[in-house]
Structure 1
């Protein structure tokens, strides 16, 4: 088996889906099918059981996977070390994040990155909401996973990693909590909790707009310094907050509910980095982030 065919086999053994395997390896599904058929002819037996709904490894396929994985890992590590040396992927990479879901992605990427590039350390840290871009602008970070777009002097937007629908965080006994969906026009009837810090206008318009799309004013609610204050303010019935839909999995607690919006733009999360240029470690790390985010879609 050729190395590329081995990579296709191992990817399909993990994904158990021809389409996802093709997307992950950036090839066509027919290329995946051709490689598997060629491997089965070479070996002389079926490696996968295929139906219209499922793909499963045969016992023969399981043994081949278990035998190939350690050798393939050693080959990949050897290639990665050569790439790291050639590109200068050494030193320390410093990555920041602003939300728990960005943190999950950053830490997953950091673990893989350390295995690939042994000469490059990775530090991951939270970026406080009261100073959202200070560490990056001061040079304390090489890149940041956060909401995009950001228009700040000296900073540039990198690739968008994923797009998230929005929801309204409301008190569980609020009338809006009984709805399946809310509209941006509903914001005219509820006080919207606002950050007390100097947040860029573009982010404010996304998270705490002052007017609805039809021009109705949005009542200002109480302000906060740290995000942990927001669920408590909402549960107390003092205001509402616009959040990502997946916030319900990270910030749910008694007294609050999350109601998806039926209109309005998504919240886009991606990479922010210095506009002047990126280091080889930062470029390699973002390539890894992009790959991991695509697998989770």
Structure 2
């Protein structure tokens, strides 16, 4: 197998879903299926049981191949990455995954860290929409920027980078579109999206399950990407709250963003794995604290 084919297999083995694997790999589902089918022909056996159309599972052969290939792929990937860093005069890399969209707003933190640690290549990327905490645990990112609270025994909570008010995204022809603001109670009058698997407390921290008067805020359909989410908003099937910074980066004529003053602000902070804490992670946290204190 070539390196890319190994990545396709390992990603599908992790996701157990062709659509999510294709999205992570930036391939079509048909291409992922084609690669896996070719691997199965070469090996002479099935790697995945596809009898359940909603979720596939690894066969015994597939599980064995994943166990064998995983460490080898990780070592090869790390070796190539060290070589790439050395070619650019760097000795280390720190990967930051962003759940919010406002990378430019936080540029002062990234620039300060880079100036203090020129030996380190700082990568700031959008975090995956599906199970980002699992990706943090798997080592796909070293630091994760996300909303609080995060209450996981294996995750350290670092400094807060910013607080943002919530706004409600609605279709331009929605009955709320002409309002200046939306009361919290009104969220129970409309359908919302169901996020992919995440801890209940974490979902509740972003959008509560109940209004202040105890009315249910209904989730009707699971979404697996931000594009899918905003599409359902534009069709009028759902409404959805966002941190207000999205209004500076999403120019959408078919969507209106309405303040929800009663919901207050939502904090976003650095978090990282306890067993993945390094001097560079601590250095980024120090930079955020110091630069943040200068802008209070």
TM-score bucket (shorter structure): 0.5 to 0.7
Is there any run of 5+ residues in structure 1 with no aligned partner, and where? 1-88
Kindly indicate whether residue 255 of structure 2 is the aligned counterpart of residue 225 of structure 1: no
Is there any run of 5+ residues in structure 2 with no aligned partner, and where? 1-89
Counterpart CA distance in 2 for 1:176 and 1:290 is: 39
Conserved 8 A contact 1:222-1:238: no
Cα distance, 1:244 vs structure 2: 0.8
Conserved 8 A contact 2:170-2:233: yes
Counterpart of 1:180? 180
Cα displacement string for residues 29-79 of structure 1 (whole angstroms, at most 9, x for unaligned residues) = xxxxxxxxxxxxxxxxxxxxxxxxxxxxxxxxxxxxxxxxxxxxxxxxxxx
Q: Which moved more, 1:165-174 or 1:134-143?
A: 134-143
Matched positions, count = 207
Kindly indicate whether residue 127 of structure 2 is the aligned counterpart of residue 98 of structure 1: no
| Over 6 Å off, 4+ runs | none
Counterpart CA distance in 1 for 2:271 and 2:223 is: 24
Counterpart CA distance in 2 for 1:221 and 1:119 is: 48
Conserved 8 A contact 2:147-2:206: no
Conserved 8 A contact 1:166-1:267: yes
Counterpart of 1:290? 289
Counterpart CA distance in 1 for 2:218 and 2:112 is: 46
Conserved 8 A contact 2:165-2:243: yes
Cα distance, 1:130 vs structure 2: 0.4
Q: Equivalences for 1:147-296 in 2 at 5 Å?
A: 147-195=147-195, 197-276=196-275, 278-294=277-293
Cα distance, 1:208 vs structure 2: 3.7
Cα displacement string for residues 219-275 of structure 1 (whole angstroms, at most 9, x for unaligned residues) = 333321001112211111111001111211122312110111121242110111123
Is the alpha carbon distance of 1:248 and 1:295 closer, same or farther for their aligned partners in structure 2, counting shifts above 3 Å?
Answer: farther
Cα distance, 1:126 vs structure 2: 2.0
Kindly indicate whether residue 139 of structure 2 is the aligned counterpart of residue 139 of structure 1: yes
Cα distance, 1:168 vs structure 2: 0.8
Conserved 8 A contact 2:148-2:205: no
Counterpart CA distance in 1 for 2:279 and 2:220 is: 44
Conserved 8 A contact 1:90-1:281: no
Choose 1 or 2 for highest CA Rg: 1
Conserved 8 A contact 2:206-2:266: no
Note the aligned Cα RMSD (angstroms): 2.3
Counterpart CA distance in 2 for 1:287 and 1:105 is: 18
Q: Equivalences for 1:16-31 in 2 at 5 Å?
A: none
What TM-score do you get using the length of structure 2 for normalisation? 0.63
Helix, strand or coil for the counterpart of 2:163? strand
What TM-score do you get using the length of structure 1 for normalisation? 0.63
Counterpart CA distance in 2 for 1:248 and 1:107 is: 18
Helix, strand or coil for the counterpart of 1:281? helix
